[in-house]
Amino acid sequence: MKKIANYLLILFGLTLIGCNNNTYSDALKAEEELIATFIARQGIEVVTEKPTEWKENVYWKLPDYDNYYFHLVEVGDTMSAPLEANDKVLLRYIQYTLEAYADTVRFWNSDDQPNPTELKYRVATESSCTGWQIALEHMQYTGAQCKIICPSKLGFTDQNSNVIPYGYDMKIKIKRF
């Protein structure tokens, strides 16, 4: 009787393993579909050339990154010096999933989080991801604001391993000494 119970338990375990046929490529395809659905649901117009004038809800699909979209909301203080490598950036952001009922985390003001996230431009750290660094490259000035759609490959490690894309609303202040 014990042997039969063990056999059934092993058979049940193998069945569960066999039922999970999702691969990483399946997850990437699902991510691509989620991003496309989000773009359609939000009425976003996608362009392949960087706009000289940013119209509302027009996102630039960057040519060097799959499924990365950028929209400049506010250019910022163009009278100030633009970002340079190693500049300290104070970042406020709203992070949201791309599902119809988004899971949102807000770090937009001091009511949400007392201090902004600090990172250095063009310096890889745990407090920054590649998607943010790409956005900073196109923001350039204190007071700049943007929105991005960031695929998991350009996100933080947990987003990458779980294949979760995020949207971000971002605003920056450059801190120089």
Task: Indicate the fold that domain 24-175 takes in CATH.
Answer: Chitinase A; domain 3 (3.10.50)
**74-95 as b/e, with b when 16 or more CB fall inside 10 Å?**
eebeeeeeebeeebebebbbbb
Element (H, E) at 74: strand 69-74
User: What is the SS3 assignment for 83?
Assistant: coil
Helices (H), the chain: 2-19, 24-42, 130-139, 157-162
Other beta carbons less than 10 A from residue 173's beta carbon: 16
Burial classification of residue 32, based on how many CB atoms lie within 10 Å of its CB (0-12 exposed, 13-18 middle, 19 or more buried): middle
Residue-wise pLDDT for 86-145, tens only, equals: 999 999 999 999 999 989 999 998 888 899 999 999 987 777 899 999 999 999 999 999
Region 166-176: mean pLDDT is 95
Residue-wise pLDDT for 42-60, tens only, equals: 999 999 999 999 999 999 9
Distance between CA atoms of residues 154 and 94, nearest Å: 17
Confidence of residue 20 (pLDDT cuts 50, 70, 90): low
Amino acid (1-letter code) at residue 163: V
